[in-house]
Structure 1
Amino acid sequence: MAVSTSTSTLPLLFLHRSTTSPNPTALSFTSSIRASPLRSRAAAAASPPAETLDLPSDTPPVGEGSGIPMPSSIGDDGEQLLFGATAGKETVPRACAQLQPSFSDSFNVSQEKIVIMNRYGEKLVGVLHEAGSKDIVVLCHGFRSSKESRTIMGLTDALTSEKISVFRFDFSGNGESEGTFQYGNYYKEVEDLHAVIQHLKDQKCDTRAIAGHSKGGDVVIIYASMYQDVSRIINMSGRFDLKRGIADRLGNDYMERINQHGFIDVGQKKGQSIYRVTKESLMDRLKIDMQSACMSIDPNCRVLTVHGSDDDVVPSEDAMEFHKYISNHELHIIEGADHRYSSHQLELANIVVKFARSG
């Protein structure tokens, strides 16, 4: 578990200090990617809410229709979502990501919307970006986010600019994929990811790495503890202690209330329900032993954890816990970065691309 420091290039650094203040617009990569709009999820249970919690004012309102929607522009973890339209297969010119000055000027990336069936008969919707390689990095979004999040789209551009193909998709109950959104649901999302990797294998594609942001980081760690078919795992801002962070969202007395009512409805000040936390879904999260999962990862599997020192959602101390229990592990702390890498997208892209390209 070697750790080193650096302020210029990006090897196995522990603390990455920016020598200049990064421009958050520098990672635009002339984005010509177009993705399908998001749509509402299946309806929540019809019984009246037991509790309604106030979410911050920037949480998107419930849209028309009967389903629990994905946000119109901002995910529940604060991720900016990007929109457009993708239909069938197309080839678009991709400007080179400005990660290093030696890269080629431009090349073409073919992108295709793909639908994959999970083990529950639900359609998972993803976009394959073919950049000239059968080696693919699969990108996994965070809690109530989607494949259109700013972090996912930025990494897509960075990886394809390095001629690494990418598959980004929506977990069931999120974005365009079928299914009902559920709190917790870690193991089901692991199975969604497994369905994706099996599909790519059937198409003679090799999954070079799986990368997850926020909750997606936990999903890829758990995946690696259960399956040994991917040799590189990238955990971006994942939470080690899943017992933490619940009270911030549900209130300090969440256990008492969920025992009393059986569920808690999370909503906005308007009283509209956004999603329901059932006792079963809460227990799904609380029963996960991340330490055991980390220690169950094959030592031949290389794992990278990236975390922001100023993460306002998951404390950077969690990254140190992953480093403590994963045997073949690299840790990068980006100084000043928040949970969404708002002003540090370029540093994140450099670290992820370097790890994905390494032998």
Structure 2
Amino acid sequence: MEKNIEIYNKKENCNIKAKVFFKDLINKSNSIFIFCHGFCSGKGSDSIRIVANMLLECEIPSISFDFPGHIDSIQGTDKLKVDVCISYINSVVEYVKEEYGNSIKISFYAISFGAYILLNKLIGDNSYYDNIVLRSPAFNMKNILVKSLLKDSFEQYKRIGKAKAGHGGKIEIPYAFYEDLVSHNLYDNYKEKRKILIIQGSLDDTAPIEDTYTFIQNKPEIELIEINNIKHHMEPEEISLITEIMIKKLDFKMCQ
């Protein structure tokens, strides 16, 4: 089952549009996954729903939400900033602890832009998280924006101060968004030693696998599972395949 809910963000004084995936009204699991969606995506995407349903087969519920300027978000793209997005994740974490108790084991599944935001959140965060899974992570988000996501020229974007971006140019983003990405460079800022699992296609045409190679250099705590002949956008059967790989890798007992 799934249910749409709203989660209050104290820092931004607004409600976050979220979705819970669960089997029973009474939660029997001591674990939960929080999804962080990709750019121009949202809480109910196939990329999330397929994984959520497969996690439910392992008796693991999950929760997803919309970042600012995406799908049902109350806030617009003027609030699409790294620190604001982090406040969304923090608000969802607080909600999960209030709803399921402080002993709940929280894991993350973050896709592309969502992975970029999550890693920025983890900088200096001493909290324990059970599993951190990144799918096709956008480590070099500023370059990805310019090379793959902008529908207008970068020169026009800088001159006018806004541009259309994402699938079909669905989202209009201010130039301040790019400037914010520049100041949140993961290659310079991320020094954490957390265990992380990355799953990415060898033919990723949005977030180049070479960016991932660069990021994980001298980070033995990060494991990369590279899937041959898969691009950034994945078909449902490809999403199912990588989810099976993830579940096997993380050794979820309820799936055995």
Which TM-score band (shorter chain)? 0.7 to 0.9
Which residue in 2 is equivalent to 1:97? none
- Out of 91, 107, 120, the position equivalent to 2:12 is 120
Q: Whole-Å Cα distance in 2 between the matches of residues 209 and 292 of structure 1?
A: 25
**Structure of larger gyration radius:** 1
CA offset at residue 214 of structure 1? 1.2
Which residue in 1 is equivalent to 2:204? 311
Deviations 1:100-139 (A, max 9, x none): xxxxxxxxxxx43321011212211222223431310111
Q: What is the letter of the counterpart of residue 162 of structure 2?
A: I
Q: Whole-Å Cα distance in 2 between the matches of residues 114 and 326 of structure 1?
A: 37
Contact 1:221 1:233 in 2 (8 A): no
- Out of 250, 259, 272, the position equivalent to 2:150 is 250
Q: Whole-Å Cα distance in 1 between the matches of residues 213 and 201 of structure 2?
A: 12
- Out of 92, 95, 111, the position equivalent to 1:213 is 111
Q: Secondary structure at the match of 1:283?
A: helix
Contact 1:242 1:288 in 2 (8 A): no
Which residue in 1 is equivalent to 2:182? 286
Q: Secondary structure at the match of 1:148?
A: coil
Q: What is the letter of the counterpart of residue 245 of structure 2?
A: I
Change (3 A) 1:183 1:121: closer
Contact 1:182 1:276 in 2 (8 A): no
CA offset at residue 355 of structure 1? 4.4
- Counting matched residue pairs gives 242
Contact 2:113 2:141 in 1 (8 A): no
Q: Whole-Å Cα distance in 2 between the matches of residues 234 and 151 of structure 1?
A: 13
CA offset at residue 183 of structure 1? 8.3
Q: What is the letter of the counterpart of residue 4 of structure 2?
A: K
Greater relative CO, 1 or 2 (CA 8 Å, sep 6+): 1
CA offset at residue 358 of structure 1? 5.5
Contact 1:302 1:328 in 2 (8 A): yes
Identity of aligned residues (%): 19
Map 1:60-75; keep pairs closer than 5 Å.
Answer: none
Unaligned runs of 5+ in 1: 1-91, 93-110
2:223 is equivalent to residue 334 of structure 1: no
Change (3 A) 1:259 1:338: closer
Change (3 A) 1:351 1:183: farther
The answer to which structure has the higher helix fraction is 2
- Out of 137, 148, 163, the position equivalent to 1:238 is 137
2:239 is equivalent to residue 345 of structure 1: yes
Which residue in 2 is equivalent to 1:68? none
Contact 1:221 1:293 in 2 (8 A): no
Q: Whole-Å Cα distance in 2 between the matches of residues 184 and 126 of structure 1?
A: 17
Q: Whole-Å Cα distance in 2 between the matches of residues 165 and 267 of structure 1?
A: 32
2:67 is equivalent to residue 187 of structure 1: no
- Out of 165, 173, 181, the position equivalent to 1:277 is 173
Q: Whole-Å Cα distance in 2 between the matches of residues 191 and 200 of structure 1?
A: 14
Q: Secondary structure at the match of 1:139?
A: strand
